[in-house]
Amino acid sequence: ALILDVTALVRMDVARAVSAPPALAPAMGTSTQTVVMVVDDSITVRKVTGRVLERNGMKVITAKDGVDAVALLQEQLPDVMLLDIEMPRMDGYELVRHMRNTEELKSIPIIMITSRTGDKHRQLALELGVKRYLGKPYQEAELLDNIYAVLAEESP
């Protein structure tokens, strides 16, 4: 029940935040805050990562798996996504494939954060279009450095 309540609250918050059509929001200057979507089936990882990001001035959207992430992406596009691999219903690789094949989602930078640190997993993620690949547990400074680096690469 807690997860559903959080999702409902996030959706209400997202609906309030997006009062103009998404294409117009940046031009109107309604949001300069970096929006990060955290997709992980562990509520602990979502909470801890969310707190780190919020402490550093970022807005956080969370999803417990790829299916929830796809639904939330229809409401708001994040500036960057932090993504786990192993999740029920739709894993991280499937979500990356979906996003890279969807016009409005394919440019969102993805940082994969996973306990799967083997080279074959890293290689597949990078081939699919993931920008960075971090192992768990990560250091807070390492995560923030990677987010800022990816955002700098994406800005014109």
CATH number at residue 52: 3.40.50.2300
SS3 at position 143: helix
Residue count of the chain, please give it. 156
Q: Are 83 and 96 in contact (CB under 8 A)?
A: yes
Range of the structural domain that residue 107 is part of? 2-154
Q: Are 90 and 68 in contact (CB under 8 A)?
A: no
SS3 at position 133: strand
Give bridge partners of residue 82 from the DSSP assignment.
38, 111
What is the DSSP code (8-state) at residue 139? P
**For every one of its 156 residues, what pLDDT tens digit does the chain have, with 9 covering 90 and above?**
334 444 444 444 444 433 333 443 343 444 589 999 999 999 999 999 999 999 999 999 999 999 999 999 999 999 999 999 999 989 999 999 999 999 999 999 999 998 887 889 889 999 999 999 999 888 899 999 999 999 998 766
User: SS in 3 state form for 31-62?
Assistant: CCCCEEEEECCCHHHHHHHHHHHHHCCCEEEE
SS3 at position 21: coil
Token representation of residue 135: 């192992």
Q: What is the pTM of this model?
A: 0.77
> What is the pairing mode between strands 132-135 and 80-83?
unpaired
Q: What integer pLDDT is reported at residue 117 of this predicted model?
A: 76
Token representation of residue 81: 């996504």
Task: Name the domain count of the chain.
Answer: 1
